[in-house]
Protein backbone atom coordinates (compact mmCIF):
# COMPACT_ATOMS: atom_id res chain seq x y z
CA UNK A 1 0.00 0.00 0.00
CA UNK A 2 2.87 2.40 0.71
CA UNK A 3 4.27 1.78 -2.77
CA UNK A 4 0.95 2.82 -4.34
CA UNK A 5 0.86 5.95 -2.23
CA UNK A 6 4.42 6.84 -3.24
CA UNK A 7 3.55 6.32 -6.93
CA UNK A 8 0.53 8.63 -6.62
CA UNK A 9 2.56 11.27 -4.83
CA UNK A 10 5.26 11.13 -7.51
CA UNK A 11 2.60 11.59 -10.21
CA UNK A 12 1.10 14.53 -8.31
CA UNK A 13 4.54 16.10 -7.96
CA UNK A 14 5.16 15.71 -11.71
CA UNK A 15 1.78 17.26 -12.50
CA UNK A 16 2.52 20.23 -10.23
CA UNK A 17 5.95 20.76 -11.80
CA UNK A 18 4.43 20.61 -15.29
CA UNK A 19 1.76 23.12 -14.28
CA UNK A 20 4.40 25.48 -12.88
CA UNK A 21 6.40 25.27 -16.12
CA UNK A 22 3.30 26.09 -18.17
CA UNK A 23 2.51 29.09 -15.99
CA UNK A 24 6.10 30.39 -16.21
CA UNK A 25 6.19 29.92 -20.00
CA UNK A 26 2.92 31.78 -20.29
CA UNK A 27 4.23 34.67 -18.14
CA UNK A 28 2.56 37.40 -20.21
CA UNK A 29 -0.86 36.33 -19.05
CA UNK A 30 -1.55 37.27 -15.49
CA UNK A 31 -4.53 36.42 -13.44
CA UNK A 32 -7.13 39.14 -13.09
CA UNK A 33 -7.29 40.51 -9.56
CA UNK A 34 -10.24 39.23 -7.58
CA UNK A 35 -13.02 41.63 -6.86
CA UNK A 36 -13.53 42.04 -3.17
CA UNK A 37 -16.91 43.41 -2.31
CA UNK A 38 -17.66 45.04 0.97
CA UNK A 39 -20.90 43.56 2.21
CA UNK A 40 -20.96 45.45 5.49
CA UNK A 41 -23.87 47.73 6.09
CA UNK A 42 -22.76 51.30 5.60
CA UNK A 43 -25.19 53.87 6.77
CA UNK A 44 -25.18 57.55 6.08
CA UNK A 45 -26.45 59.72 8.88
CA UNK A 46 -27.76 63.09 8.00
CA UNK A 47 -26.85 66.01 10.21
CA UNK A 48 -30.51 66.22 11.21
CA UNK A 49 -31.68 63.45 13.51
CA UNK A 50 -35.44 63.15 13.98
CA UNK A 51 -36.03 62.81 17.73
CA UNK A 52 -39.80 63.07 17.22
CA UNK A 53 -39.75 59.59 15.66
CA UNK A 54 -40.98 56.86 18.05
CA UNK A 55 -38.14 55.20 19.92
CA UNK A 56 -38.34 51.74 18.32
CA UNK A 57 -38.13 52.93 14.68
CA UNK A 58 -35.47 55.45 15.75
CA UNK A 59 -33.32 52.70 17.25
CA UNK A 60 -33.97 50.35 14.33
CA UNK A 61 -32.82 53.04 11.89
CA UNK A 62 -29.66 54.12 13.69
CA UNK A 63 -28.39 51.21 15.84
CA UNK A 64 -27.29 48.92 12.97
CA UNK A 65 -23.62 48.02 13.38
CA UNK A 66 -23.16 49.86 16.68
CA UNK A 67 -21.54 48.41 19.78
CA UNK A 68 -23.10 48.54 23.25
CA UNK A 69 -21.69 51.92 24.33
CA UNK A 70 -22.85 53.55 21.08
CA UNK A 71 -26.31 52.04 21.50
CA UNK A 72 -26.41 53.32 25.08
CA UNK A 73 -25.57 56.82 23.83
CA UNK A 74 -28.14 56.55 21.02
CA UNK A 75 -30.86 55.57 23.46
CA UNK A 76 -29.90 58.38 25.83
CA UNK A 77 -29.93 60.83 22.92
CA UNK A 78 -33.49 59.88 22.01
CA UNK A 79 -34.71 59.99 25.61
CA UNK A 80 -33.09 63.41 26.07
CA UNK A 81 -34.36 64.62 22.70
CA UNK A 82 -30.79 65.49 21.73
CA UNK A 83 -30.61 68.06 24.55
CA UNK A 84 -27.18 68.17 26.24
CA UNK A 85 -28.61 69.65 29.43
CA UNK A 86 -31.38 67.11 30.03
CA UNK A 87 -30.58 64.44 32.62
CA UNK A 88 -32.02 60.96 32.09
CA UNK A 89 -32.10 58.39 34.91
CA UNK A 90 -30.15 55.20 34.26
CA UNK A 91 -33.21 53.18 35.31
CA UNK A 92 -35.24 54.76 32.49
CA UNK A 93 -32.52 53.96 29.94
CA UNK A 94 -32.30 50.38 31.20
CA UNK A 95 -36.09 50.00 31.14
CA UNK A 96 -36.27 51.16 27.50
CA UNK A 97 -33.33 48.94 26.56
CA UNK A 98 -34.96 45.87 28.11
CA UNK A 99 -38.00 46.33 25.86
CA UNK A 100 -35.79 46.41 22.73
CA UNK A 101 -33.47 43.39 22.92
CA UNK A 102 -34.74 41.94 19.60
CA UNK A 103 -32.02 41.45 16.96
CA UNK A 104 -33.63 44.04 14.69
CA UNK A 105 -33.40 46.66 17.45
CA UNK A 106 -30.63 46.65 20.08
CA UNK A 107 -29.91 42.93 19.76
CA UNK A 108 -28.30 42.48 23.18
CA UNK A 109 -29.06 42.58 26.88
CA UNK A 110 -28.30 45.73 28.85
CA UNK A 111 -24.92 45.87 30.58
CA UNK A 112 -23.80 48.72 32.85
CA UNK A 113 -20.38 48.50 31.23
CA UNK A 114 -21.91 50.25 28.18
CA UNK A 115 -22.55 53.43 30.19
CA UNK A 116 -19.00 53.41 31.57
CA UNK A 117 -17.52 52.94 28.08
CA UNK A 118 -19.72 55.72 26.66
CA UNK A 119 -18.47 57.96 29.47
CA UNK A 120 -14.84 56.98 28.69
CA UNK A 121 -15.42 57.99 25.06
CA UNK A 122 -16.78 61.39 26.21
CA UNK A 123 -20.20 60.79 24.64
CA UNK A 124 -22.10 60.97 27.94
CA UNK A 125 -21.45 62.21 31.44
CA UNK A 126 -22.97 61.87 34.86
CA UNK A 127 -22.70 64.44 37.61
CA UNK A 128 -25.14 62.76 39.99
CA UNK A 129 -25.17 59.04 40.48
CA UNK A 130 -27.66 57.41 38.10
CA UNK A 131 -28.36 60.54 36.01
CA UNK A 132 -26.82 60.77 32.54
CA UNK A 133 -26.66 63.57 30.01
CA UNK A 134 -25.17 63.90 26.53
CA UNK A 135 -21.80 65.48 25.85
CA UNK A 136 -21.32 67.73 22.79
CA UNK A 137 -19.24 65.00 21.12
CA UNK A 138 -22.01 62.38 21.32
CA UNK A 139 -22.61 62.39 17.54
CA UNK A 140 -19.24 60.65 17.12
CA UNK A 141 -21.19 57.43 17.63
CA UNK A 142 -22.15 57.66 13.96
CA UNK A 143 -18.51 57.74 12.80
CA UNK A 144 -17.43 54.41 11.30
CA UNK A 145 -13.92 54.51 12.78
CA UNK A 146 -14.88 54.98 16.44
In a domain, 48, yes or no: no
In a domain, 34, yes or no: no
pLDDT at 139: 92
pLDDT at 143: 83
Q: Which residues pair with 131 in a beta bridge?
A: 89, 128
pLDDT at 31: 54
In a domain, 116, yes or no: yes
In a domain, 94, yes or no: yes
What is the per-residue pLDDT across 99-126, written as a single tens digit (0 to 9) for each? 998 888 999 999 999 999 999 999 999 9
Structural domain count, the chain: 1
Q: CATH number of the domain that 133 lies in?
A: 1.10.10
In a domain, 102, yes or no: yes
Contacts 24+ apart (CB under 8 A), 120-127: 120/69, 121/69, 121/146, 123/69, 123/70, 123/73, 124/72, 124/73, 124/76
In a domain, 5, yes or no: no
* CA torsion through residues 143, 98, 54, 42, sign: positive
What is the per-residue pLDDT across 19-72, written as a single tens digit (0 to 9) for each? 888 888 776 555 555 555 554 444 555 557 888 999 999 999 998 889 999 999
pLDDT at 35: 58
pLDDT at 42: 47
Tell me the residue range of the domain where 87 lies: 55-142
In a domain, 40, yes or no: no
Integer distance in angstroms from the first to the last C-alpha of the chain? Answer: 59
Separation in Å, CA 65 to CA 15, 85, 105, 140, 145:
48, 27, 11, 14, 12
Amino acid sequence: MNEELVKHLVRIKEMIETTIEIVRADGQETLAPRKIENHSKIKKVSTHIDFSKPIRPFVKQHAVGMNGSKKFTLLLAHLAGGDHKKNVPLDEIQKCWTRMTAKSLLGMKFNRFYSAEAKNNDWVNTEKSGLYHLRPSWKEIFDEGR
